[in-house]
Structure 1
């Protein structure tokens, strides 16, 4: 059985197990808003309502920005599957500052690149080749860049919920 956790402002935060929700309620970190009537939780000395929805006692600030992880597919998508040098269809990615010279795997150092440009450029910089990038590489922004699975990464309010278990 799962329990919905609401922030003090009644905005949904997470869905957690009823055991974890019961711990929050027992430690006075939350109150039960909605109960499951049919199945109470039996303890050794008392009976507890099984929570379906709980409300946190204190407001938890939820971060609004997430760092999008750098992936090959993400770089190609950000650049519209077009080469950063010649604008032809791109199938590979290129390090603007080559890794052999200390270039990082970051949004600012990776661009989509066609196979021809990638092979010609090799381990040189665009400046050494006399090439110019069509745009300045930047990290993507917006909700469409939220990668499935990263929303399970440790959110800012998770320690608050974990503290109840301790």
Structure 2
């Protein structure tokens, strides 16, 4: 069981175990705003509801440079598992500017790609192939990318994640 942690300004911060969330609540560092009904936790000092969403009592400053690391899985997820060239189902990623020509492993240079397009394109640029990308690749944004674990989220988290998007 996991719990969404919100900053004092209702900004999603992290996903933690319900035990960690309960410790924050018991130490008056957070308040429960959404509960899991029907399955309380019995402690030596009382009964506690299992928290689904908690909000911190004090604002925690987060660095503005919270960048999402580039991964194969992340590129496929950003592009909805669709090829950046033909739009079919993608299972690989492609460097728009090939690595052999100085292309970087960056959000702006990687796109999801189907096996067919990846093999045909090979070590060439889309301009050399006379191909066009279906979209301009860019870094992902929003709480679904900065807060790990929200893609397999609890329905009770939705209103709080929607505020941050």
Interval containing the TM-score (normalised by the shorter chain): 0.5 to 0.7
Q: Structure 2: any 5+ residue segments left out of the alignment?
A: 1-12, 14-27, 30-56, 150-165
Q: Equivalent residues in 2 for 1:128-139 (5 A)?
A: 128-139=128-139
Listed one character per residue, the Cα deviations across residues 61-89 of structure 1 (whole Å, up to 9, x for unaligned) are 43355100000000000000000000000
Q: Equivalent residues in 2 for 1:38-57 (5 A)?
A: none
Partner Cα distance (2:117, 2:79) in 1? 15
1:60 deviates by 7.1
RMSD: 3.2
Q: Which residue of 2 aligns with 1:90?
A: 90
Q: Which runs of 4+ in 1 moved over 2 A?
A: 59-65, 146-149
Alignment pair present for 1:71 and 2:71: yes
Partner Cα distance (2:146, 2:60) in 1? 22
Does structure 2 retain, via aligned residues, the 8 Å contact 1:84–1:113? yes
Partner Cα distance (2:61, 2:147) in 1? 22
Partner Cα distance (1:147, 1:110) in 2? 22
Partner Cα distance (1:113, 1:64) in 2? 31
1:96 deviates by 0.1
